[in-house]
Amino acid sequence: MTLDALLRRASERLLKAGSPSPRLDAEVLWMHASGRDRTWLYTWGDRRWGGRTWEDRAGDETPCERFQLARFDALIAARVQGMPVAYLTGEREFWGLRLATSRETLIPRPDTETLVEAALERAGAPAGQLLDMGTGTGAVALAFASERPGWRVDGVDVRPEAVALARQNAAALEIHNARFTQSDWFGALESEAPPHFELIVANPPYIAESDPHLALGDVRFEPRSALVAADDGRADLRYLIDHAGPFLADDGWLLLEHGHTQAAGVRALLDRAGYTQVASVCDLGGHERVSLGRWLAG
C-alpha cells in the first residue's frame, strides 16, 4: 500500500476511537515513527510499502521499513486507547518552540498562548522580572523569555520532575534568561526579602473534582494534581490572588488562566483583593480565558 493509504487507514481507526484530529494525529505519529518531516511525508505520499491490507503488510519492505511500520502500529494502538500524542512523541510545539513533554506535566495547549500574549502586552519596558507559577514544562516562561531577552524570567513548580523538564527545555532551546526552581507556590521565595516582579503569571489547577471532562480526552492521562483544585476549582486561583501582592512591584500585574466559565468569579476575587484595572482576555475561541489585575503597593 502507499503511504497515503497507510495514513488513511490509521486515520479511520483514530476517528472511530474518538480522536478529534485523526489525520493530524496519524501524520504526527508517522513522522515520529519514521524520523521523517512533513515535507517528506507530502512528497512521498504515493510511495508503496508492500503488503496488501492494513492487517497483511508482509511484503518487500526493508528491515528499516518494517521496524518503522511496527513502531507506527504501536503508536496508533496507544492513541486508539486515548494516550495523548504529546506523551507518545515526547514533545509538543508551543509558541513556535518545540518542548519536551512528560506524563509528570500538563500538555501545553494553544489556549495558554493567550496568557503569553497578555503578559507581553504588559511588558513594555526593555527589562524587568516575570514569575511563572506552576511552570510545568516551562512553556509560558520560555515563550515569554524568548520574546523578551532583556527580562529575567523565573519559573517555579512544586514537582521536581517538572522543574527538571523545564530546565531541560531551556537548555535545548538555548534560552538563557529563564531559570527554574522547586517551590510550593511562593514558598521558596519567602525565606529572603521577596523580589518584586513586574509580572506574575500562572496557569494553575482550576477544574472541579466533579467535572465530567476529567474522564474525556487527553486529560485522562495528565497529572490530576495539575488539573484539579478544591472549592469547585477556585482554591488555587484564590490563593494566588490573595498572596501575590507582596511579590509584585508597584503597578505590577497578576495574570491568571482559568476555565471559560470562571472569569466573572476571578474578576470578583481580584476586585476584592484590591487589584485595579481588572479585566479578562478572550482566547481564539472567544472564551474569557485569562483574567488580570494591577497591584498598587502600599
Residue 16 lies in a domain: yes
Q: Which among 61, 82, 103 is the end of a domain?
A: 82
| Residue 110, marked binder | no
Query: Does 172 lie in the same domain as 208?
Result: yes
| Whether 223 and 289 share a structural domain | yes
Domain presence at residue 39: yes
128 with 264, same domain: the answer is: yes
- Tell me whether residue 62 is annotated as binding: no
Asked if residue 104 and residue 77 are part of one domain, the reply reads: no
- 247 and 119 part of one domain: yes
Query: Residues 106, 25: one domain?
Result: no
Q: In terms of domains, do 161 and 44 share one?
A: no
Per-residue pLDDT of the chain (298 residues; tens, 9 = 90+): 788 889 999 999 999 999 999 999 999 999 999 888 888 888 877 766 554 443 444 445 667 778 888 999 999 999 999 999 999 999 999 999 999 999 999 999 999 999 999 999 999 999 999 999 999 999 999 999 999 999 999 999 999 999 999 999 999 999 999 999 999 999 998 776 677 899 999 999 999 999 998 998 899 999 999 999 999 999 999 999 999 999 999 999 999 999 999 999 999 999 999 999 999 999 999 999 999 999 987 6
Are both 98 and 78 inside the same structural domain?
A: no
**Is 295 labelled a binding residue?**
no
Same domain flag for 122 and 268: yes
User: CB under 8 Å to 197, separation ≥6 — which residues?
Assistant: 128, 129, 130, 131, 154, 247, 248, 249, 252
Of the candidates 46, 62, 82, which is a domain's last residue? 82
Q: Is 137 annotated as a binding residue?
A: yes
Say if 212 falls within a structural domain.
yes
35 is annotated as contributing to ligand binding: no
Q: Is position 138 annotated in a ligand binding site?
A: yes
In a domain, 202, yes or no: yes
| Strands annotated E in the chain | 91-94, 97-100, 129-133, 152-157, 178-182, 197-202, 248-257, 276-282, 288-295
232 known ligand binder: no
Q: Does residue 124 have a known ligand-binding role?
A: no
* Pair 104, 187 in one domain: yes
72 lies in which domain range? 3-82
44 and 175, same domain (yes or no): no
Instruction: Enter the pTM of the model.
Output: 0.90
Residues 160, 104: one domain?
yes
135 annotated to a ligand binding site: yes
**Domain harbouring 286, CATH code:** 3.40.50.150
Number of compact structural domains in the chain: 2
